Amino acid sequence: MPDDGPSSTARVRAWQRGRTGVPLVDAGQRELWATGWMHNRVRMVTASFLVKNLGIHWRVDEQWFWDTLVDADAANNPANWQWVAGSGADAAPFFRIFNPLTQHDRFDPDDDYVRRWAPSWDQEGYPEPIVDVKQSRAAALEAYQRLRDANR
């Protein structure tokens, strides 16, 4: 997915406002906006969703985290985003993609966190997901494989 143009802008805005239709991502972004903080697990999930599922360059919203996090750090923020994007100095021999649906089930099994920050997530009228998690994951893996093949 390209990271430019109006559809990219709409995806970024939806992500920033917690209106992606993906409950854990939305809850995290709403908590960030309301408090200036979010748990590290949710930071990784929301960042992965932005970069891997929405196809947005990590620098676009590294700036958003810089502007909204009360604990933003000039060294850690870019390094963490690069880690999530798979472009940093990371020894892991794989391309990680956090599945926000699986992460929700695993780390918020009773929906306490999601209910607190995105209380209408399971009600009619909640936004439909702006991207299919499974299809966008497959697209990200295909793009990664093309890059690997091109650099061999």
Go through the domains of the chain in sequence order and give each one's CATH number. 6-150 (1.10.579.10)
What is the percentage of the chain residues whose pLDDT exceeds 70?
Answer: 93
Quote the pLDDT of residue 90.
67
Per-residue pLDDT tens digits for 104-128 = 999 999 999 999 999 999 999 999 9
Quote the pLDDT of residue 147.
81
Q: Which of 3-17, 24-38, 137-151 has the highest mean pLDDT?
A: 24-38
C-alpha 48/C-alpha 58 separation (Å) is: 9
C-alpha 65/C-alpha 81 separation (Å) is: 10
C-alpha 44/C-alpha 82 separation (Å) is: 11
Q: Is the pLDDT of residue 4 over 60?
A: no
Q: Is the pLDDT of residue 145 over 90?
A: no
What is the arithmetic mean of pLDDT over 125-134? 96
C-alpha 139/C-alpha 152 separation (Å) is: 20
User: pLDDT-derived band of residue 134, with 50, 70 and 90 as boundaries?
Assistant: very high
Q: What are the phi and psi torsion angles at 78 (to 5°)?
A: -60, -40
Which residues touch 64 (CB under 8 Å, ≥6 apart)? 16
Quote the pLDDT of residue 151.
78
What is the arithmetic mean of pLDDT over 129-137? 96
Contact 84, 48 (CB under 8 A): yes
SS (H, E, C) 56-102: CCHHHHHHHHHHHCCCCCCCHHHHHHHHHHCCCCCCCCCCCCCCHHH
Contact 47, 132 (CB under 8 A): no
Per-residue pLDDT tens digits for 53-106 = 999 998 888 899 999 999 998 888 888 888 888 877 765 656 789 999 999 999
Quote the pLDDT of residue 152.
79
- Structure-block tokens of residue 59: 């620098």
